[in-house]
């Protein structure tokens, strides 16, 4: 299945896309590659996304995942 959301990766390996008319940060390592139907992820800044019916959908925000270094 193809993804209908326009997405791109920058030279810094960060993924961006248009959710509606808004350009949004989709993540770095958290972004599913290749993106497939049903994939869900949370970005480093706490935005939650899921691919529903071929579109990347912004589900809201949450507390960013904790990093244990």
- pLDDT, tens only, 8-55: 999 999 999 999 899 999 999 889 988 899 999 999 999 999 999 999
- What is the pTM (predicted TM-score) of this model? 0.87
Query: Judging by beta carbons within 10 Å of its beta carbon (0-12, 13-18, 19+), is residue 56 exposed, middle or buried?
Result: buried
Angle at the Cα of 31 from the Cα atoms of 28 and 34, rounded to 5 degrees: 125
Residue 41's CB is within 10 A of a number of other CB atoms, namely 17
């Amino acid at each position: 299945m193809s993804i209908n959301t326009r997405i791109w990766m920058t030279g810094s390996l960060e993924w961006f896309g248009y959710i509606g008319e808004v350009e949004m940060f989709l993540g770095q390592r958290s972004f599913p590659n290749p993106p497939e139907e049903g994939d869900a992820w949370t970005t480093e800044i706490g935005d939650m996304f899921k691919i529903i019916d071929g579109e990347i959908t912004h589900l809201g925000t949450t507390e960013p995942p904790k990093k244990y270094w």
